[in-house]
Structure 1
């Protein structure tokens, strides 16, 4: 089966709309959410080819396939994340500057800054006495690595 578009999002389907459909999940690391073309296997062993016609990222909860009996949904795997909670805008700016110098992408959820685990950043946060936690969590979007040169 080839998936060429995202049908909807799981949270947009009411319990009545979902009915008694058999739910299968495609477990992906966040890095694979940016891949437009890939081969995956559901948790029930069904092989799928994903070849999205529109250039877009996959997200946790995307419904890839749905018929009267089945539904296939993207599930993002948890990953090792540093959850940083800056106490001020100045602290936020300082952290962002240091992350930018290391070319590490960040995501923001409410008052939290999320980055993929990096022992050097963890050490820097501890030395600077900046509040953070190391957690295994599911991110809803891929971390975007933005490349540039210092030339």
Structure 2
């Protein structure tokens, strides 16, 4: 089966519509969410080809296939993350500037900054005394570098 478009996202579906179907999941590493063309396998062994026609990243909860009986959904494996919790605007600005200088992609959840684990950033956070946790956590979208140059 070749998937060329996303049907919907499971978060936008009625709970009753989900419950009447058998759910299969495709588990992806967050870095694979940016791939429009890939071969995957569901947790039930069904092989799929993904070849998206539109320019978009996959997201956790994207429905790849749905009929009256089955639904196939993207799920994301947990990433090794630093969850940074600045206490005030000064700490937020300081760490945002430092992460930007390192070209580190970041995501935000509430007041927290999420970055993929890097021991140098961990050392920096300890040095700056900015609160953080090192944990495994699922993200909904890929960490994406923003293309630019210093020219």
Q: Bin the TM-score by the shorter chain.
A: over 0.9
CA distance in 2, matches of 1:121, 1:19: 43
CA offsets per residue over residues 45-96 of structure 1, 9 Å max, x none? Answer: 1111111111001100111100011110000000101000111111111101
- In the alignment, structure 1 residue 131 sits paired with structure 2 residue 136: no
> RMSD of the TM alignment (CA)?
1.1
- After superposing the two structures, state which structure 1 stretch, 75-84 or 87-96, moved more: 87-96
CA distance in 2, matches of 1:146, 1:18: 35
Q: Would you say how many aligned residue pairs link Structure 1 and Structure 2?
A: 151
CA offsets per residue over residues 83-142 of structure 1, 9 Å max, x none? Answer: 001111111111011111111111111100000000000011011110000110000111
CA distance in 2, matches of 1:95, 1:33: 26
CA distance in 2, matches of 1:87, 1:129: 10
Which residue in the other structure is 1:72 paired with? 72
Partner of 1:60, secondary structure, is coil
Which residue in the other structure is 2:6 paired with? 6
- In the alignment, structure 1 residue 106 sits paired with structure 2 residue 110: no
Q: CA deviation at 1:18?
A: 2.1
Which residue in the other structure is 1:39 paired with? 39
Q: CA deviation at 1:149?
A: 3.6
